[in-house]
Each structure stands twice: as C-alpha cells, then as structure tokens.
Chains A and B, each alone.
Chain A
Amino acid sequence: MSLLQRDDWYDIARDVDWTLSYVDEKQAFPEQWSGVGPVPKEAWLTWDEPYRCTYRDYVSVQREKEAGAHAVREALKRANLYERLDPAHTAASHLHMGTTCFVEQMAITLQSRFCRFAPSPAWRNMGVYGMLDETRHAQLDLAFSHDLLKNDPRFDWCNKGFHTNEWGVLAVKNFFDDWMLNANVVEAAIATSLVVEHGFTNVQFVALAADAMAAGDIDFSNLLSSIQTDEARHAQAGFPTLEIMMKHDPERAQRIFDVAFWRSFRLFQTLTGTAMDYYTPLEHRKQSFKEFMLEWVVTQHERVTRDLGLKQPWYWDQFLECLEHGHHAMHIGTWFWRPTLFWKPNAGVSKAERAWLNEKYPSWEDSWGGLWDEIIDNVNEGKMEQTYPATLPALCNITQLPLGSGWDRHHLKQWKSEYKGRVYNFDSEISKWCFDVEPERYAGHTNVIDRFLLGMIQPMNLEGGLAYMSITPDVMGDDAYGYRWAEDYRSYAQAAE
C-alpha cells in the first residue's frame, strides 16, 4: 500500500476541530487568553503556516539534530577545549546561558498556551512542535552547561539565574514574564514569535554562533546553531497571526509590534551588543553589532512592514540613535558595576580595540572615550576603589535597564510619568510611551531601586544588594583580563614605578 503524499492529507489532519456543545466559545477560549478581540472566528480559518511540517517529519529531523549536537558535545568534552578559550569570549557564554536558558523554559509554557488557546486548529497544531522545540532548547542549554560546571561555577547560573534577583536577569525576566507568560496568545505571537524569534534571535544565535566558531568555541557555536534551526521554523507562527490582525485590528497589531520591537531591541542590545563589540576577541569579530543589526534586523523589519502593511514605529529615528550608543552605555555600566554580575566582563578598550570602536562608531570617542580615560587612569594609578560604584544606578520602570543607557551622556534627560500617585522613571521617551499607552499593565511593578527603597534589600548597602541578587564570591564579576589591557595606556613614569 502506498502512502498518501503529505499535501493530500495535511490540511484535513491539521485542521481537525470540534463543535462545542457543553460550553460556548467564550468559555472555552476566554478573551484574556485568546485575545482575539474584534477578529471574527472565520478569519482565523485562513491561518496558514508558511513552514509545513508533519509529526513524522518533525521527529525524524529533530532526532538527527539532537544526535549531531550531542556527538559534537561528547567529542569536545574530551578535548578540554574550554580551558584554551579566550576569557573575554567565555563571558559571552556565561551571559548567554544565565539569561536565556529559562527563557526557553518559559517558552514551553507559551507554546503550550498556543496549543490550548490559539483561535485556529492549524496554529494549535504548530504549537505542539514549538513546545517540543523549546523543551529541547532548555535541555540542551542545561546539558552543555552541566558539562562545563567543572571548569567554572558560573555555568550553574544556567539553572540558577532565573531563581535569583540579579538585576540583569530581572530585566530579561520582566520582558518575557510580560509578553510570553502573561500576554494573550495573539499578542504573544506577535511580540515573541514575530518580533523576538524571527526578528532578533538571528542576532543572538547566528551572529554569536559565528563569533563563537571564530573564537574556537565549537561547542557553544554548535549549540547555538542547533537551536536556531528550530527558531527559524516556529517563529513563522507570527506571520499568519499578524496578517489576520492587520486585516481586522491593525492599530492593536501596530502597537504590540512597536512595544515589542523596542523592548526586545533593548534586551538584545544588552546581551548581544556587548558580547559582539566588546567580548569577542578583536581578531575574530566579523561585523559590529550595529552592522549586524542593520543587515539582519533593520532590513528585515523594513521588509515585514512593507509586506504586511505595518508602519515604521514612530520612534524609528530614536531607535537608530540608540543603535549607535545604547550598548556602549550598557557596556561601560555593566563593567563599572561588575561586582553585581555573574560573569567577568571584558573592558574591551585596549588601544587596538578602541581604534576598532572608533572606526565602527564615529562618535564613540566623544561619547565614551573620556569616561573610559578616567577609569584607565585610576587603574594605572592603583586607585582601584575609584573604579567601583558606591551606589546603585537609576533604573527604568519599563526596561529595568539604567536610565541613560538608551543614548549617550550628551542626551541624558529625565522621562517620567505619574500614575495613581506614583512617579515612574524611564530610560527614553519610547519606554515612557510604552507605559503611557497601557499604564495598568506596568503599574505596581518594582524595579531593584524601588525594592531597595521599600526596604526589601537588607542591609541597605552593596553587601545587602549582592546578597539579594545571590551574587557569591566564586561567581562575582571582575575584569576578564585582570586589567592587563590598561597597560597599553601606562605612561613611562608609571611603568618605571
């Protein structure tokens, strides 16, 4: 007996649905979880994924991917490759594992909600593959990190990170709690499938995989590439959702896109921007973060807006300014507040690296050079206490990132809103707009500064803050190279001493 061709049965099998009789539609698919709004039920019947996949195909392909990823893992376990890696590069892998493994874990819940509450059977079917994908990703991160625990206790943060109050982890968790775990499925599909997975994971997984391979970290590169092939497939769920929303509820679609794009960008700028432009050894850098963003995200975004009828976000010019500066701000900030990190940041401002930064970012010297010069002088003069913070930086009530980290020192300005008697501060006009259009969504949330002022962090000093964030001496951040890069700038007099 010959098997039917896939296209002969796919639509019927995929679109199996049932007619409700014991409950009505709104009870089975509550609005707060489905989020269909004014979109008519029939419209969802047109939902069609561009990347068709049967369960048989899925299992077969995934089995091969798993076998490939683990074969490389097993081979490299015996090669002691990790010990030979550049310490600046390993910081990128600590940062990645600690901040993304549990996003993958959260995504399993997201995909399972697609399976249950999505308004189309085709979408619910696709959610099954997504759920299996995300399970695989979280397990891969944990398995690879477990192998490397013997080299560095920081890999424990792959599992531990999201159970702590470390400020960077809180920033990541805040976004994904909001758009992945608490948003309805329509909003979650646009914000995460379309914007985060299709728009931004290219930066983290493709660019970082290339940089990792160049830096000799075949294991990490192999992990990232294996995950990215899944992302490329299940991220497709965002397109048919957006297409239907653009026909029936375009204003809401535009708002979700605009908020998610800005917030995702700020996170990837922090995670990937610093890793690409400061942690990747100079000789292995393929492109600057800005170049990669312009090629992979901006161009792609413009294609999506053109094809699906979205308008460019109102803040596009400000986004481009932020692309020029924001990750440099996040970098000097994370390096300066390095005791609050669970990874060892590379300063990345030796003379050669500085020349590269100035070539890629023509205003870098004017914006950031002077601030680093003071740090460098302090390092070289042995005034190490001056290279550490004595208080907390101000934080944004939307992104949870420092105020001032959206642009540069010439454009620092207070953006705030008052809502129900409380003042909220923001890192930019754009974050303020995110809050103002939906204040109830964000009101009441406390960032680390709010928690400090509420007395939740005791004792109210750096020691109390580090304990609150679960930072212990064995993982506490310090300069990746032990400040050796600063010797580039030592004067003859200092050298003679």
Chain B
Amino acid sequence: MALFPIYGVFEGDFVPHLVAIDTDNSMAEIADAVAIHSVGRRIKAKPGGTYEALIADEVVPLDRNFGEVMAEKGVAPLDFVTVRYAA
C-alpha cells in the first residue's frame, strides 16, 4: 500500500489532473477518482453510465488491482490513466 501520483484524463475533457491514488486501489476506484474532476464540472454526467479505464491505450478491467497493473505495464509516476464512459 502506497500513495502514487497519476495524471488522470477523462475522455472529452481538455486537461489531465493530478490524482493521488493508492496502489491497493481497484481500477474502478481509480476511475471514480479521475472522473470526479471532470464529470459534472466540464463533462456532462450520463445518468446510469459506467466507466472504462485505459492505460497506454488498452482497456484494463475495473476489478483489477492497480498495483498489479502498474507492475505489469510499467506505469511510472505521473503517467496518464484515461477514463471514459463505457459504450
């Protein structure tokens, strides 16, 4: 368990945000932490919509643990994690 800084991007917004996450977080928790800075602020909320998370352009299942994904994909501090509404 460790704090880890990422740049979170919500698809459709124009700027990534600094988001502090925990390596024990699930990708679902990270998606929520990223979305909160864009959805309802500059991106319209989609009632009932669910999120998808992407690292290096690949969708990562929301039930995965970020620490494992980080080791697998070599995610560095301040790398982009993109979140979008699932189709």
Contacts and interface: CB of A to CB of B under 8 A. Distances in A.
Interface of A: 329, 332-333, 336, 367-368, 370-371, 373-375, 378, 383, 386-387, 389-394, 402-405, 408-409, 412, 414, 416, 418, 423, 425, 449, 452-453
Contacts of B80: 414
Contacts of B17: 389, 391-394
Given A390-B36, A414-B80, A423-B77, A404 B15 contact: yes
Given A393-B16, A409-B14, A449 B78 contact: yes
Given A370-B44, A374-B44, A423 B15 contact: no
Interface in B38-77: 40-44, 76-77
Given A393-B17, A403-B15, A425 B7 contact: yes
Interface hub of B9, B15, B41 (most chain A Cβ within 10 A) = B15
A378 B41 contact: yes
A329 B13 CA distance: 11
Contacts of A378: 40-41
Contact of B37 (A371, A391, A405, A449): A391
A394 B15 contact: yes
A449 B18 contact: yes
Interface hub of A368, A386, A393 (most chain B Cβ within 10 A) = A393
A394 to B, nearest CB: 4
13 contacts: A329-B15, A333-B14, A371-B42, A371-B43, A378-B41, A390-B36, A391-B18, A394-B18, A402-B15, A405-B14, A412-B9, A423-B79, A453-B77
B15 A393 contact: yes
Contacts of B36: 390
Contacts of B76: 418, 423
Contacts of A387: 41
A373 B44 CA distance: 9
Contacts of B37: 389-391
B43 A374 contact: yes
Given A371-B14, A386-B41, A389-B41, 15 more contacts: A333-B14, A371-B43, A373-B44, A374-B42, A389-B17, A393-B17, A394-B15, A394-B17, A403-B7, A404-B15, A412-B13, A412-B16, A414-B7, A416-B79, A425-B78
Contacts of A453: 5, 77
A403 B16 CA distance: 7
Given A392-B17, A392-B18, A409-B12, A336 B42 contact: yes
Interface hub of A333, A371, A408 (most chain B Cβ within 10 A) = A371
Interface residues of B, number: 23
B19 to A, nearest CB: 7
Contacts of B44: 370, 373-374
A392 B13 CA distance: 14
A404 B14 contact: yes
Contact of B40 (A333, A373, A386, A403): A386
A135 B55 CA distance: 52
A374 B40 contact: yes
B78 A423 contact: yes
Interface hub of B14, B16, B37, B79 (most chain A Cβ within 10 A) = B14
Contacts of B9: 412
Interface string B16-32: 11110000000000000
A418 B37 CA distance: 27
B13 to A, nearest CB: 6
Nearest to A372: B42
A449 B44 CA distance: 27
B5 A408 contact: no
Given A403-B7, A425-B7, A408 B14 contact: yes
Contacts of B12: 370, 409
A486 B63 CA distance: 41
Contacts of B14: 329, 332-333, 367-368, 371, 404-405, 408-409, 412
B79 to A, nearest CB: 7
Contact of B42 (A375, A390, A403): A375
Nearest to B18: A392
A387 B38 CA distance: 10
Contacts of A386: 40-41
A463 B70 CA distance: 31
